[in-house]
């Protein structure tokens, strides 16, 4: 059986029609004065899911998170958590905890007091608090820093304290607002995996807000791509990348080549597309677009093969000239200027040290791809 991308784990409640939704945004709208931050948005998140809200700044993703935490109330619509309507419930009574982008560690308290703060609020007895704090410190590997104040910690340590503090109460849902935004690149990559392990270990539902697509792709079970207060697509990272449903999503995640064109005709098992500049493309998954309608054919650079001669048996082959070559070590990126003027980006994995078919600037070249290599977008 064929599948999109690689399979990570056997967890897909969103495909199960009987699965009970855990968090539900039901036609939620949030306005700040005249500005609509979130527009009639509906979204379902399942228990134990690692869910990412991905979008550029100002797309409404943080507002969505703050509404879930209770810092903002929706102007219209409902938010349900485990079947309970959250309207009117103040943040200090919601079974969710948030990890703030600035970490928001209490500067006048030690690390252990910071972690114990939430437990004290719920009236947990002293010995239990001590036990839980010790457990949390162990979890984030900060045992020897218990008596330090936040300003005596490095950025990565502060991030871990903030994390320990927000999971100490065992919330039903953990909200993370740009959790790795303040860390440097190397630390960020390490911490991504730590967060994933933590989520598995604690069995919590995570909702993370981020503007970093790599971060979202690495960590999340599903990603919601947001733009201007609306959800553009909700899907697994592989689906988002391999089967985007709109130009916006295709453009937003990764690199993509776009061919403007029209559906020329549908045959029994394929669709023929005529590009606006004359390119003829055959795809086997364009059935949804009506014949004659305007569409965009989107294809990722690594799905395109570059060769100096026209490949035999290729369904789709377009001729052009090498416009730019960038050697990146693990792969090489070609920019091929087709004879109709369009520039196509293609990347080739350097799987062997020597290249049999070397191409350089101004060489004649062919780009070819399989009929299932790209997607047809109608919007």
Interface positions with other proteins (CB under 8 A): 69-71, 90-93, 96-98, 100-102, 104, 106-108, 117-118, 121-122, 149, 151-154, 157, 165-166, 169
Strands 305-307 and 364-369: antiparallel
Write out the two tokens for 175. 């909200």
Nearer to other proteins (CB atom), residue 94 or residue 188: 94
Q: What's the CA gap between 270 and 248, in Å, rounded?
A: 25
User: Taking the CA of residue 43 as centre, how many other CA atoms within 13 Å lie in the half-sphere pointing to its CB?
Assistant: 30
**In the complex, least distance from residue 168 CB atom to other proteins, rounded to whole angstroms:** 8
Min CB(167)–other proteins separation in Å: 11
Q: Which residues contact 87 (CB under 8 A, 6 or more apart)?
A: 73, 74, 78, 79
Identify which of residues 115 and 346 has a Cβ nearer to other proteins in the complex: 115
Least distance CB 110 / other proteins (angstroms): 13
**Minimum separation from the CB atom of position 189 to other proteins (A):** 18
Q: Of 291, 296, 315, 310, which Cα lies nearest the Cα of 369?
A: 315
- Cβ nearer to other proteins, comparing 121 with 308: 121
Residue nearer to other proteins on the CB measure, 66 or 345: 66
Nearer to other proteins, 37 or 168 (CB): 168
Distance in Å, CB of 121 to other proteins, minimum: 3
Nearer to other proteins, 148 or 337 (CB): 148
**Least separation, in Å, of the C-beta of 301 and other proteins?**
40
Closest CB to other proteins among 120 and 131?
Answer: 120
Rounded to a whole number of angstroms, the minimum distance from the CB of residue 346 to other proteins is 44
- Tokens encoding 365: 């070249």
Nearer to other proteins, 6 or 144 (CB): 144
Least distance from other proteins to the Cβ atom of residue 117, Å: 5
Minimum gap (Å) between residue 199 Cβ and other proteins = 19
Give whichever of 208 and 296 is closer to other proteins, judged by the CB atom: 208
Minimum distance, C-beta of residue 91 to other proteins, in the bound complex (Å): 5
Say how far apart CA 142 and CA 159 lie, in whole Å.
Answer: 11
The residue among 74 and 118 lying less far from other proteins, judged by its C-beta, is 118
Cα distances from 166 to residues 45, 105, 149, in angstroms, run: 20, 11, 17
């Amino acid at each position: 059986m064929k599948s999109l991308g690689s399979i990570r784990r056997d967890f897909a409640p969103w495909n199960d029609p009987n699965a009970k939704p855990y968090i539900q945004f039901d036609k939620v709208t949030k306005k700040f004065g005249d500005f609509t931050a979130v527009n009639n948005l509906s979204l379902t998140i399942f228990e134990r899911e690692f869910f990412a809200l991905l979008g550029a700044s100002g797309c409404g993703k943080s507002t969505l998170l703050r509404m879930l935490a209770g810092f903002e109330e929706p102007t219209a619509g409902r938010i349900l958590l485990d079947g309970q309507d959250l309207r009117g419930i103040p943040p200090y009574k919601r079974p969710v905890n948030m990890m703030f982008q600035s970490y928001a560690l209490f500067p006048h308290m030690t690390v252990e007091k910071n972690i114990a703060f939430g437990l004290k609020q719920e009236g947990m007895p002293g010995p239990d608090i001590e036990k839980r704090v010790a457990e949390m410190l162990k979890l984030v590997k900060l045992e020897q820093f218990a008596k330090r104040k936040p300003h005596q910690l490095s950025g990565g340590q502060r991030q871990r304290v903030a994390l320990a503090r927000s999971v100490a109460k065992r919330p039903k849902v953990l909200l993370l607002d740009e959790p790795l935004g303040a860390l440097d690149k190397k630390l960020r990559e390490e911490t991504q995996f730590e967060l994933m392990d933590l989520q598995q270990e604690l069995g919590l539902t995570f909702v993370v807000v981020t503007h970093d697509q790599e971060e979202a792709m690495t960590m999340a079970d599903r990603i919601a791509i947001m733009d201007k207060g609306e959800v553009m697509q909700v899907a697994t990272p592989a689906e988002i990348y391999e089967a985007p449903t709109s130009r916006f999503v295709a453009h937003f995640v990764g690199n993509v080549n776009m061919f403007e064109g029209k559906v020329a005709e549908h045959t029994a098992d394929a669709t023929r597309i005529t590009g606006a500049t004359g390119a003829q493309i055959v795809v086997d998954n364009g059935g949804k677009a009506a014949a004659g309608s305007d569409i965009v054919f989107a294809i990722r650079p690594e799905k395109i093969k570059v060769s100096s001669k026209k490949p035999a048996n290729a369904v789709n082959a377009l001729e052009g000239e090498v416009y730019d070559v960038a050697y990146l070590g693990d792969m090489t990126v070609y920019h091929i200027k087709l004879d109709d003027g369009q520039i196509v980006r293609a990347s080739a994995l350097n799987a062997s040290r020597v290249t049999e078919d070397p191409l350089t600037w101004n060489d004649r070249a062919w780009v070819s791809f399989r009929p299932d290599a790209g997607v047809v977008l109608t919007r």
